[in-house]
Structure 1
Amino acid sequence: MGGTEAVRGGARAYIGSFTSGGGRGVLAAEVDEETGALTVTGASDAVPDPSFLALAGPVLHAVSETENGAVAAFDVTGPAPRPLGPPVPVGGAAPTHLALAAGHLLTANYTSGSVTALPLAEDGTARPATAVLSHRGSGPVAERQRGPHAHQVLPDPSGGWVVSVDLGTDSVRICALDPATGSLTLHGETPLRPGSGPRHLAFHPAGTHAYVLNELQPTLTVCRWDAAEGVLEPLGETRVVPEGATGPSYPSEVVVAPDGRFLWAAVRGDDTLAVLALDPDGGAATLVATVPCGGSWPRDLTLDPSGRRLYAANERSGDVTWFTLDPETGVPARAGAIEAPAASCVVFG
């Protein structure tokens, strides 16, 4: 699918999906800035399983979450994403997350338990990998933690560090990325509670705290972040499902409000969005509400650029549902949805 005519001005969103699950690949959509409604304008299934996306200007990057893991770049100046050359191997299996940092594209490779750095060319596409940093370790949950499983990689707010969250080793690693050479050097590793299965992390806007969402236990680990020293210190855990809730519950994504007052987490199984209030300094979180996610198996949760709406990519029900946020309570209210088979990720640009 494709098109070459110019896109009309206005906000845009991009949806990743699992082609192996019936998804259309990478979808482009116009965003109604008054209502938040999405209208799909085109799609590309040029690469298999583009499950996570990252936007850099007119270039959209996608992982190809396959055993022979790769990243792909798309031109998104038209109504449908257009591939920019062949996919580039990442030297790891099943990349499940990617992020941009210091002129490089970073991927977290789940099955092989590693992080890859790929420099960006002048046209914005990825060049061959300059580093593949392998994680080591395991955890007590035999069926999920026999070895490392890097699930997320992202730069910290200061830009001085790269953090990677590993579900298999119950830990978060802090690395240094050399912008000149693309090398990754391990600086430190923060252990979390054994068997918690950390999946994704989000930073407080002040850059002083981080919140690790755990997949194997429905909890959020609140941490202090010292950007000067590159040290992550766990402070405590908070449940993201109510006491007495019957599982299974598998949290997937965490996002923090731009003003630092609230945090939201998507929980699969329960199929809910959890609302947590943050203390003024960000050092503690309290569960205040849960609401239905609008579908089944919310794999991703994203704030729009205004910070007034949440978008849930509901993988198993095959839709993206959006919610308006109460500015006083942080509680989401369902506002609409579009069909998006095997949806896995939403980003805005």
Structure 2
Amino acid sequence: MKKLLITFLAYLLSTPIFSQNNFYVGTYTSTKSEGIYKMHIDVKNNKLILDGVAAKSDQPSYLAFSKDHQYVVAVNENSDNKLPGKDGQVSLFKVDKASGNLTFVNQVNSGGAHPCHVSLDDQNNVFVANYSGGNVGVFKIKDGVLEEKSSLVQYEGKGPRTNRQEAAHAHFSNYVAQKERVYTVDLGSDKVHEYKVVNGALEETNSIAITPGGGPRHLVWSKGGKFLYVLNELSCSVSAYAMSESGYELKEEISTLPSDFDKSKLNTCAAIKVSKDGKFLYASNRGHNSIVVYRIDQKTGKLKNLGFVPTHGDSPRDFSISPKQDFVVVSNQQSNNVVLLKRNKKTGMLEYKDEVEVPLPVNVVFW
């Protein structure tokens, strides 16, 4: 019996404390933030708990886990005249699965100014979108270290909205396992690019020309990969696409805003997510300060607006659905708060529960 108790205690000590309801928050450190914060949801009491600083880092806006969760990669959106080419940086951290703390490993040049998104594939290739640089860099974690970039895709062009589309602006670089492809978005020239990874480089397999002036920011696939949804930051819309013999076919474009929204007020879209069951799609509005909820038609892929949920803060930069799909966590960048919303799995709707102060929160990444 004593031996069994010792074995059980050893198991508990070796089991990660930070798991299903735990997450990291990437931030901007231009005010009070120290870097990457660790938090968790107290499910029983519908509360958010701030567990402290997981790692000190400069402007670690967006984060991504490696597939085995041994590493976290962060983009450091710290472009500066003192840096070569005014580029940002990319940092690698080792994850302590017991405490949730992150240990800095190394840092490399991002290949362009203001890196704003990062993802990894199953082989630990790292894909970074540099917003002001207008390019996407490819890196690799090898032998426990983040190597210098192996390749760089540079975009050119501009769009009709001269205040934001004066040049190429890469805003998204996400590996989608079910498609075995990397999808990137150029807000500046209204383009979406699809790539396969070949020997540490991106080889284009398809592309989409977004409605001019849309300013695509992020995208997400439906469950099963039949429909693609592109969130347009500038036109405040979601574009739904399906594959045809000629490529991507636009099925519909639907507003993220209520019909009575005052168009003299500024609103820009930020993040887009789909529930695991494939029934609901969510997108965030900065200005209207809401998350719009849609039901997805499983046959056509078209969206039905179910309503708008206030984010209880200013400028919801990112949000994430918890692994068990029962909560949504929102980072309100300008009001310095992270908000907990309870999610109804049947209706898809969200209900405010709690909030915690976090300086300039940007990205929410669940374990």
Q: CA deviation at 1:223?
A: 1.0
**How far apart are the structure 2 equivalents of 1:76 and 1:70?**
19
The 2-side partners of 1:230 and 1:61 are apart by 37
Equivalent residues of 1:267, 1:273 under 8 A apart: yes
Per-residue deviation, 1:322: 1.2
Q: 1:37 to 1:71 in 2, by over 3 A?
A: farther
The secondary structure found in structure 1 opposite 2:105 is coil
Matched, 1:8 2:26: no
* CA deviation after TM superposition for structure 1 residue 224, in Å: 1.3
TM-score, normalized by length of structure 1?
0.91
Distance 1:102 1:55, change over 3 A: closer
The correspondence of residues 1-349 of structure 1 with structure 2, limited to 5 A, is 8=17, 10-11=19-20, 12-35=22-45, 37-43=47-53, 46-56=56-66, 57-67=69-79, 68-77=87-96, 79=99, 81-103=101-123, 104-123=125-144, 125-178=145-198, 181-225=199-243, 231-246=247-262, 247-281=265-299, 283-349=301-367
Q: Give the partner amino acid of 1:128.
A: E
Residue identity matched to 1:234: L
Q: Do 2:55 and 2:102's aligned partners in 1 also have CA atoms closer than 8 Å?
A: no
Shift of 1:35: 4.7
When normalised by structure 2's length, the TM-score is: 0.87
The alpha carbon displacement at 1:230 in A equals: 11
Q: Is the 8 Å Cα contact of residues 46 and 83 (structure 1) preserved in structure 2?
A: no
1:80 Cα deviation from its structure 2 partner? 5.8
Instruction: Report how far residue 151 of structure 1 moved.
Output: 0.5
CA distance in 2, matches of 1:30, 1:310: 12
Change (3 A) 1:131 1:278: same
The CA deviation at 1:32 is 2.6
AA paired with 1:70?
Q
For the aligned residue pairs, the C-alpha RMSD in angstroms reads 2.1
Q: Which amino acid aligns with 2:149?
A: A
CA deviation vs aligned residue, 1:23-50 (integer Å, no higher than 9, x gap): 2310112333445533222315643110
> Equivalent residue of 1:120, what SS?
strand
CA distance 1:36–1:201, change in 2 (3 Å): farther
Amino acid at match of 1:48: D
Q: Distance in 2 between matches of 1:35 and 1:51?
A: 29
Take 1:348 and 1:333, find their aligned partners in 2: how far apart are those partners?
19
% identical equivalent positions: 28
Q: Which has the larger radius of gyration?
A: 2
- Aligned partners of 1:14 and 1:27 also within 8 Å: yes
Alignment check: 8 A CA contact 1:43 1:80 kept: no
> Does the CA contact (< 8 Å) of 2:38 and 2:52 recur in 1?
yes
| CA deviation profile, 1:175-202 (whole Å, cap 9, x unmatched) | 2211xx2011223321011001110001
C-alpha contact 1:50 1:64 (8 A) present in aligned 2: yes
Could you tell me which residue of structure 1 aligns to residue 82 of structure 2? none
Change (3 A) 1:195 1:21: farther
Q: 1:49 to 1:172 in 2, by over 3 A?
A: same
Are 2:179 and 2:225, in contact at CA under 8 Å, matched by a contact in 1? Answer: no
Q: Are residues 158 and 169 of structure 1, via their aligned partners in 2, closer, same or farther at CA, if it must alter by over 3 Å?
A: same
User: 1:213 offset after TM fit, Å?
Assistant: 0.6
Change (3 A) 1:102 1:159: farther
Matching residue's letter, 2:142: A
Relative distance call for 1:231 and 1:106 in structure 2 (3 A) is: farther
Task: Give the CA deviation at 1:10.
Answer: 4.3
Local SS of the residue matching 1:184? strand
Moved more, 257-266 or 20-29: 20-29
Letter of the 1:138 partner, please give it: K
